[in-house]
Chain A
Amino acid sequence: MEDKNQQPLETLQDIKQIMERSSRFISLSGLSGIAAGICALTGVFLVTQKIDCWKIGNCLLNRLASEEGLDLKRELYLIAAGTFTAAFILAFFFTWLRSRKNNVPIWGHVARRLMWSVAIPLIAGGFFLYQMIELKQYELIAPGCLIFYGLALVNASRHTLSEVRYLGYLEILLGLINCRMIGYGLYFWAIGFGVFHIIYGSIMWWKYERNS
């Protein structure tokens, strides 16, 4: 009798698990977040080495807009591209590791959906911000990145661990505050892309991966 009573509970648990596995990308690793956060902080540190007056606030914007800012701009682009690439590769690596451990294929219909839901706000935002750089409107680039990234996360949270939503809300909020504090973008990036990622990643790792 005991055995029979166990069955419905097990069945319901199986159903829940299969629903989750078939509709959400659950292999996203907390370590990916931590790694991306460390990359972001490293990137911000490298930039501060290039810009000596970053503590004062908006001096950077004037320098970028001037003729002599061209070289500096190129260097900053390189750091940004390097940071992004390193963060992306490391984030992908830890998630790949976890999906292998869980025996879930990394590329399936859920991953495809997740990718699109992230890509659409990011591509639209990226194009928009690029256009602003072309027009030499640098003031809102830093908050813009945070806001579009936050929107992408909120959008993606339907297809992966739902906690991603809260990270998205925080990024948007941070971007909005940054809108009122122009010139301090680097601080905000360090918090949004660095600190928040590390905190989020640590919580996720603690919650889901610590025991596995």
Chain B
Amino acid sequence: MKNPINGLNKNFESRIRLGVMSILMVNEEISFNDLKQVLEVTDGNLATHLINLEENGFLKVHKGFIGRKTNTTYSITRPGEKAFNDHIAVLENMIKGIK
């Protein structure tokens, strides 16, 4: 029998990465600062995870300006959505498996 745990996405083992993906699923676009506020993490910590997610092609980065301040926003990609949904499906199956 196939172990359902194999279906879990390794990239989402980190709670912060999973948190970022959850937020991007329900927000069309969100800024770095808003992400930081919701997740309650430090700049450096969040930045590292965002780079990882970007390299995996799960999110898109948009660099913009508000006045002179940089305003970086993030949005989810199609592969990102799929990876997230698959991950959720596995979690749900694991719960059903118990019952």
Interface residues of A (CB under 8 A from B): 5, 8-9, 11-12, 14-15, 18-19, 21-23, 105, 108-109
The answer on a CB contact under 8 Å between B23 and A19 is yes
A5-B98, A9-B95, A105-B37 are known contacts. Are A15 and B88 too (CB-CB below 8 A)? Answer: yes
Q: Which residues of A contact B92 (CB under 8 A)?
A: 8, 12
The prevalent SS among residues of A at the interface is: helix
Our pick among A5, A8, A18 for the contact of B22 (Cβ within 8 Å) is A18
Kindly list the 10 A-B residue pairs having the minimum CB-CB distance in the complex, ordered from nearest: A23-B26, A8-B91, A22-B23, A8-B94, A109-B34, A22-B38, A15-B22, A19-B26, A18-B22, A5-B98
A15-B88, A109-B31, A109-B34 are known contacts. Are A22 and B22 too (CB-CB below 8 A)? Answer: yes
The answer on a CB contact under 8 Å between A108 and B18 is no
Complex Cα gap A101–B38 (Å): 16
Our pick among A12, A21, A22, A105 for the contact of B95 (Cβ within 8 Å) is A12
Complex Cα gap A23–B98 (Å): 31
Complex Cα gap A102–B92 (Å): 28
Minimum CB–CB distance from A180 to chain B (whole Å) comes to 40
